[in-house]
Structure 1
Amino acid sequence: MSSTTVSLVNGTVLSGPINTTGDGVNSTPTAAVYEEPHENLEAILVPILFAIIFLIGFVGNVTLIFTVLKNKSLRNTPNIFVVSLSVGDLLLLLCSVPFSSTLFTCFSWPFGIFLSKFNEYMQTLSLGVSVFTLTALSGDRYIAIVHPMSKHTGKPTLITVVTVVGIWILSAALAIPEAVTSNVLYFEGGAPIDNGNTTIVPVTLAICKIYPENNLPVWYSKAHSMYRFIVFFVIPHIVIAMFYVMMARILVISSKALPCESVKGSAMNQQQNRQIQARLKVAKVVLSFVVIFVVCWLPRHISILAGHFADPEYNMFWHVLKITSFCLTYIYSCVNPYALYFLSSQFRKYYNRYLFCCCPKGSYIGLAGGEHLAMNNFNSTMRRGSTTCTGEVHSQFICQDCQR
């Protein structure tokens, strides 16, 4: 969204932000003074931020995927969804971040029509995979807490894999409109250079737009932006909220109905409490993912909807909101692995092992807070044939028996 000025062939001088992000705010250039892109602070800071996002997100998501695939004990239902989430984020980082970062540095879109369409398609694909996977994760936690015995019947792993594949197919289908409508608009003209005299240098300005006005009806941008908000935000979060309300209700009811009269009943009570706490902690991890998604994506939806429906005057507030919300959507693609690092002691243990593999063994073990000892105890317990997990271990994304 760099400030641009173009002197068209008819002599009209046009300028304004390059609107490649679908906000709709002041999408038509207006008369103004030409400003070189490198003179904008954002032309320097935003690409640096995108480079940091790319590096941190790539390392975090690759580590998470590698951790689950390498360790058989981690291949349970919640982690299959988490891996799907990371694959979607990783694809967005690899396929979209390098191109989107140039929007703040280049005078015009340099990559052509195909990459314009591909960039918008990947953004919507990743959005769909993220929000629908979070919805499926919430549903999985609802089943684990409200109907725990159903997790032991049928083929839960196969059902999970089929669900993940279905999410990707649905997301890919819902992203097709972006690939169809996105286009590059070319303006033949020139840019003025201040060399003592006003000189017009012939240039071709290319602007990548998701809603090119010359190819679409006037109402389409409003309808499509509202459709994206409802399908990719409102409906999934209503479903997620319903799952968590029902989970909260059953947890309150079950806590009042636990037996506690005899010694045997007390033992059963403790075991049931451990199981409930284990499932509840996993549900809290999923809920944290949902909160992160809302924080990172709600400003973007607000910016787009306000631009199309409120038609505000483009000023510094909207400029900052557009840039901030645009960056937050990419920041989301790198935060989930690190959220899991802080919320799950077992993932933290594996992260430390793989990320600090070149360090002395004592260094990364210390970072895990001694959790390697708990894992050793867990492994020895499992070798003795026990199916009961300790409170520290089974509460994380690790023990399949206690997760279900």
Structure 2
Amino acid sequence: MIGIRMPNLTRLLNASVVTVNNLADKEYDEDEYVPYAERPETYIVPILFFLILVVGVAGNGVLVLTLLRHSNMRSIPNTYILSLALGDLLVIVTCVPFTSILYTIESWPWGLAVCKLSEWAKDISIGVSVFTLTALAAERYYAIVNPIRRHVAGLSTKPLTLLTVTLIWLLATGLAMPAVLYSHLPTMPLKNNETICVCSPFPKEFGRSYEKGMVLFKFLMYYAIPLCIISGFYLGMARHLELSTRNMPGEQQAAPHQCEQIKARKKVGKMVICFVIIFFICFLPYHVFMLWFHFYPLSNDNYNDYWHAFRIVGFCLSFLNSCVNPIALYFVSGTFRKRFNEYLCCCLPSVRQATTTRGRFPRTRGEASTFYETSFNSTFRRHTQELNSTILLSYPSEAGKPT
């Protein structure tokens, strides 16, 4: 990114956000140039990206470890959540470390291979996230609206879920291929015969039509269309729950296990809604800016401090989405919160108590009897609580039978 004093042209050269083709043949006066040391984003963005890297790797890493190590947590919704976490880890590891310095240095230093990899991983992660959220919404819809027919038709089997996740990754990888094929490193001249290099996904020889087409395609495929589909599924769920409430005079008439299953399904549905809202809020400023900059004829002339700040906010939020899902899950799911504390904090009272108990041996016969009875009761209660947990990582029977 070049710093040009507003409102002269634009100072955006981060090719992951805008194009540089219409600026490549221009030169900038020295009195228009803003040194990097005088820009607030030079200090704010790297710190924010460092936090995204640390929190994202820790949160998504623990989530992946939890779902892989504990077989009782490998439910159908959690398979999709595992796919979300892997997609977030992909963009955090392959993209965040390199793009975090785009606001602190003037020229792309990593070379063409890293440029292609960074753009490719970013598009794959966005595709995996939005397609997985759409599949989760569909799964929740059939789980709540018609769970019995869903089981009869085989729509709830884990092999079908794994096939769906695999197809999601293949589709996201295929749609991201233009980033690999066409990302390049154009140069831009400055004053005194100096040039800078940027990473751009838009080839200059394809012209402005290709840029507009790709921006519109990503907006529709990665944002607008999935949002409409997900909204349709949740509107259908809301209508079904409303009709069910009208037809059921009192929840006390239902069997206790059915009430528990209804509550569990609603809670998982709320968790999915939380993920959906986070995704679409995080990517809304990014798409708004891209559409405005590429389709508004006077965007170069009207680009000012407001749009510059708006662009940076959208840029940061699009990457922040990769680390907020585990945070949301930590507050929504007691089971995940417990596992997270066990793996990262190692400070749960139950863990300390278990460790202390394992290290103490009874000295007398009476003490041994009390010791083993207390130990058995404590272990039994703990496992009973784990089996009764229904938030994330515990999936109720959809056929209407008690688990």
After superposition, what is the alpha-carbon deviation per residue over 1:358-392, rounded to whole angstroms, capped at 9, x for unaligned? Answer: x3645889xxxxxxx9996473489xxxxxx75xx
Give the corresponding residue for 1:164.
Answer: 165
1:43–1:104: 8 Å Cα contact kept in structure 2?
yes
Change (3 A) 1:17 1:217: closer
Matches within 5 A, 1:99-138: 99-138=98-137
- What's the TM-score, normalizing by structure 1? 0.82
Matches within 5 A, 1:232-243: 232-243=222-233
Shift of 1:288: 0.5
CA distance in 1, matches of 2:321, 2:379: 30
CA distance in 1, matches of 2:322, 2:385: 37
CA distance in 1, matches of 2:352, 2:310: 40
After superposition, what is the alpha-carbon deviation per residue over 1:239-268, rounded to whole angstroms, capped at 9, x for unaligned? Answer: 1011101111111122233376xxxx9453
1:4–1:18: 8 Å Cα contact kept in structure 2?
no
CA RMSD of aligned residues (A): 2.8
Q: Is it true that 1:56 corresponds to 2:55 in the alignment?
A: yes
Give the corresponding residue for 1:175.
Answer: 176
Q: Is it true that 1:245 corresponds to 2:235 in the alignment?
A: yes
Shift of 1:27: 5.4
Q: Which has the higher contact order (CA 8 A, sep 6+)?
A: 2
Counterpart secondary structure, 2:202: coil
Give the corresponding residue for 2:361.
Answer: none
What are structure 1's unaligned runs of at least 5 residues?
Answer: 6-13, 192-199, 366-372, 383-388
CA distance in 1, matches of 2:45, 2:201: 21
Shift of 1:182: 1.7
Shift of 1:216: 1.1
Pick aligned residue for 1:286 from 269, 272, 288: 272
CA distance in 2, matches of 1:375, 1:256: 43
Counterpart secondary structure, 2:16: coil
Q: Which has the higher helix share?
A: 2
Counterpart secondary structure, 1:251: helix
Give the corresponding residue for 2:28.
Answer: 31
Shift of 1:36: 2.5
Give the corresponding residue for 1:268.
Answer: 254
Change (3 A) 1:377 1:138: farther
Partner amino acid, structure 1, of 2:41: E
Q: Is it true that 1:227 corresponds to 2:217 in the alignment?
A: yes
After superposition, what is the alpha-carbon deviation per residue over 1:18-70, rounded to whole angstroms, capped at 9, x for unaligned? Answer: 24123359952563423332332211211111111100111000011111111
Give the corresponding residue for 1:398.
Answer: 393
Percent identical among aligned pairs is 37
Q: Is it true that 1:379 corresponds to 2:383 in the alignment?
A: yes
2:67–2:73: 8 Å Cα contact kept in structure 1?
yes
Shift of 1:173: 0.4
1:108–1:207: 8 Å Cα contact kept in structure 2?
yes
Shift of 1:350: 1.2
Pick aligned residue for 1:20 from 3, 15, 33: 15
- What's the TM-score, normalizing by structure 2? 0.83
CA distance in 2, matches of 1:306, 1:47: 26
Give the corresponding residue for 2:91.
Answer: 92
2:45–2:103: 8 Å Cα contact kept in structure 1?
yes
Give the corresponding residue for 1:299.
Answer: 285
Shift of 1:15: 8.4
Give the corresponding residue for 2:140.
Answer: 141
Counterpart secondary structure, 1:93: helix
Partner amino acid, structure 1, of 2:121: M
Partner amino acid, structure 2, of 1:317: Y
CA distance in 1, matches of 2:129, 2:28: 40
Q: How many residues align?
A: 364
CA distance in 2, matches of 1:162, 1:150: 20
Shift of 1:119: 1.1
Q: Is it true that 1:347 corresponds to 2:333 in the alignment?
A: no
Counterpart secondary structure, 1:247: helix
Partner amino acid, structure 2, of 1:143: Y
CA distance in 2, matches of 1:253, 1:130: 31
CA distance in 1, matches of 2:135, 2:350: 38
What are structure 2's unaligned runs of at least 5 residues?
Answer: 354-376
CA distance in 2, matches of 1:318, 1:27: 18
Counterpart secondary structure, 1:130: helix
CA distance in 2, matches of 1:305, 1:350: 42
Shift of 1:101: 1.0
